[in-house]
Amino acid sequence: MKIKPAQYNPGDRVTERPISRPSLGRPNQLKAIQGGRTGTVLELTTKLNKRKTKEKFLVIQWDHLQQPSEHAQMRICHLADHKELQERACHVIG
């Protein structure tokens, strides 16, 4: 069995993954909301979810906060990939 390399390593610069939300200005339209926080990965952890399977979490030191916080890995992206992911989210929306 091959072990996949870690997607994130301690010291990586990350930001929140862009998400789509309904726009309040125009009905039936979505817009990509960019993640406003950037930070540095301090450590990788795993937790058991309610189905008793392991889920990957990152402990991140956000630039504007004094204490680190824990976030699900799927909600985070590398800082260098953020612009591309945001454009892709806008194209999916239409």
The 10s digit of each residue's pLDDT in 3-49 is: 666 789 999 999 988 776 655 565 555 454 555 789 999 999 999 98
Q: Tokens for 20? A: 């789509």
| Contacts for 37 with CB less than 8 Å, ≥ 6 apart | 15, 16, 62, 63, 64
Predicted TM-score (pTM) of this structure: 0.72
Q: Is residue 5 part of a domain?
A: no
Q: Is residue 6 part of a domain?
A: no
Report the number of distinct structural domains present in the chain: 1
Q: Is residue 80 part of a domain?
A: yes
Residue 88 has pLDDT above 90, yes or no: no
- pLDDT of the residue at 90: 60
Q: Is residue 82 part of a domain?
A: yes
Query: Which residue type is seen at 24?
Result: L
Q: Is residue 60 part of a domain?
A: yes
The secondary structure of 11-71 as a DSSP string is: T-EEEEPPEEEE-SSSTT-EEEEPP--EEEEEEEEEEE-TTS-EEEEEEEEETT-SS-EEE
Q: Is residue 81 part of a domain?
A: yes
Of the candidates 17, 73, 15, the residue with the CA atom closest to the CA atom of residue 44: 73
- pLDDT of the residue at 92: 53
- pLDDT of the residue at 53: 92
Domain CATH for 65? 2.30.30
Q: Is residue 2 part of a domain?
A: no
Domain that holds residue 80: 13-93
